[in-house]
Amino acid sequence: MTASSNTPEIKIEFHTSPVSDADRTKALETPGFGKVFTDHMVLAKWTSDKGWHDAKVTPRRPLELDPASAVLHYAQEIFEGMKAYKADDGRILLFRPEQNASRFNQSAERMAMPPVPEDLFLKAVEELVRIDKNWIPSGDGSLYLRPFMFANEAFLGVRPAQEYIFCVIASPVGAYFKGGAKAVSLWVETEYTRAAAGGTGAAKCGGNYAASLVAQAQAAKKECDQVVFLDAAEHRWVEELGGMNVFFVMNDGTVVTPPLGGTILPGITRASVIVLAEEKGLKVEQRPYSFAEWQADAASGKLVEAFACGTAAVLAGIGLVRHAGGEFKVGNGETGKLTTELRNELVGLQKGVTNDQRGWTRRIMA
């Protein structure tokens, strides 16, 4: 990866036949999650001799790949998930986008891919949001942003590719879980694992999510909303859900979350929750927490609530936990008080309702 890391200018190619105002308005009424897409996307190329170049906002269209493209054979691919929000006063806001840029490059390093300069990453996101700002839903909705990068060199040798494409697409979204703030149910997976020590668990790459799909399908068969994974070595320690981090709230005010150690994705919502909880005077312990401990604490009443968190869902209370030996409730089976408070604080910051004293929000000048 010796090519120049100079950041290219982003050219703008406007769509000549964008979605009509009427069709866009109709699509924004019930966007769902990840099913509706905006008019434009961002593309940039990296080659070993030129570095990053040919960056542009362009009409959204299918990508053409050679059948021998490295991503199709060796899965060199990473992505991010982030959102743009419309405040009541018309401001358009991003939430901690620098953290997404940093995590993106941490993932790139683990997957032997070139880093994307932070200013290119941020500029690409901002330009796309600025051009497709009319796709941002009002109210509780937001514009989900998916920056991703993949290897597109045509070759079948096992080595890091010499060519990559960086792309950003956008999708207006509503609630991630049906029922909004209703507590979700979990299936505890004891056979399949999401990631192992020394693997790619801390990288946001598609392979981690592919590894979770069969377990998620089993969770659906058990009539559960999500799957929770245990560690690969002992199948004892709680790690994370298929796409979210997890927290446990004790009756003494202590908040416990599994520690980062290479097998868990360092969630930006997770990091934000820790800061907000500590500012409330709560003690946050990042430590191993076993499934047996989870069961015992729920049975004794020591555990009063639990929640999952991530960009898509923000915070979701955990009400019911099913496993091979039965099931149990967390607290009263409803979304807990602290979960609701933390969610409201985060959403207030993201939507520009709460005064941002930490510099977490970034305004996009329309």
Lookup: tokens for 112 = 């032997």
* Residue 127, domain CATH: 3.30.470.10
pLDDT for residue 60 is more than 70: yes
Residue 178 lies in a domain: no
**Average pLDDT of 102-115?**
98
Does residue 169 sit in the same domain as residue 188? Answer: no
337 with 183: CB under 8 angstroms?
no
Provide mean pLDDT across the span 133-155.
95
Looking at the predicted structure, is the pLDDT value of residue 179 above 90? no
Q: Read off the pLDDT of residues 47-59 as tens digits, 9 standing for 90 and up.
A: 999 999 999 999 9
Between strands 226-230 and 238-241, the pairing is antiparallel
| Cα separation, 150 vs 152, whole angstroms | 6
What average pLDDT does the segment 297-310 reach?
98
pLDDT in tens, 266-290: 999 999 999 999 999 999 999 999 9
Q: Which residues pair with 246 in a beta bridge?
A: 308
- Letter for the amino acid at 350? Q
Distance between CA atoms of 65 and 57, rounded to whole angstroms?
Answer: 19
Same domain, 71 and 158: yes
Q: Which two tokens stand for residue 319?
A: 């009400």
One domain for residues 318 and 242: yes
45: left (phi over 0), alpha (psi -120 to 50) or beta: beta
Q: Are 262 and 201 in contact (CB under 8 A)?
A: yes
**Would you place residue 130 in the very low, low, confident or very high pLDDT band (cuts 50, 70, 90)?**
very high
User: Is residue 313 domain-shared with residue 339, that is, in the same domain?
Assistant: yes
pLDDT (0 to 100) of residue 182:
85
What pLDDT is recorded for position 48? Answer: 96
Q: Do 204 and 149 fall within a single domain?
A: no
Same domain? For 262 and 137 the reply is no
- How distant is the alpha carbon of residue 123 from its chain centre? 19
Residue 209 shares a structural domain with residue 331: yes
Q: Where does a domain end: 127, 152, 173? A: 173
If you search the block for the tokens 């979990």, which residue do you land on?
A: 186
Instruction: Give the confidence band of 223 by pLDDT, cuts at 50, 70, 90.
Output: very high
Domain range for 113 is: 10-173
pTM: 0.94
Q: Within this chain, do residues 163 and 189 fall inside the same structural domain, yes or no?
A: no
Same domain? For 97 and 243 the reply is: no
Last residue of a domain, one of 126, 144, 173: 173
What is the amino acid identity at position 228?
V
Alpha-helical (H) ranges within 12-117 are: 21-29, 70-74, 97-110
Let me know if residue 357 belongs to a domain: no
| Three-state secondary structure string covering 72-100 | HHHCCEEECCEEEEECCCCCEEEECHHHH
46: pLDDT strictly greater than 70:
yes
Do 213 and 97 lie in one domain? The reply is no
pLDDT tier, 181 (very low <50, low <70, confident <90, very high otherwise): low
Say yes or no: 214 and 91 in one domain. no
Number of domains in the chain: 2
User: Does residue 79 lie in a domain region?
Assistant: yes
Average pLDDT, stretch 154-167? 97
Per-residue confidence band for 5, with pLDDT thresholds at 50, 70 and 90 = low
Confidence of residue 1 (pLDDT cuts 50, 70, 90): very low
Distance separating alpha carbons of residues 201 and 195, to the nearest angstrom: 5
54 and 169 co-located in one domain = yes
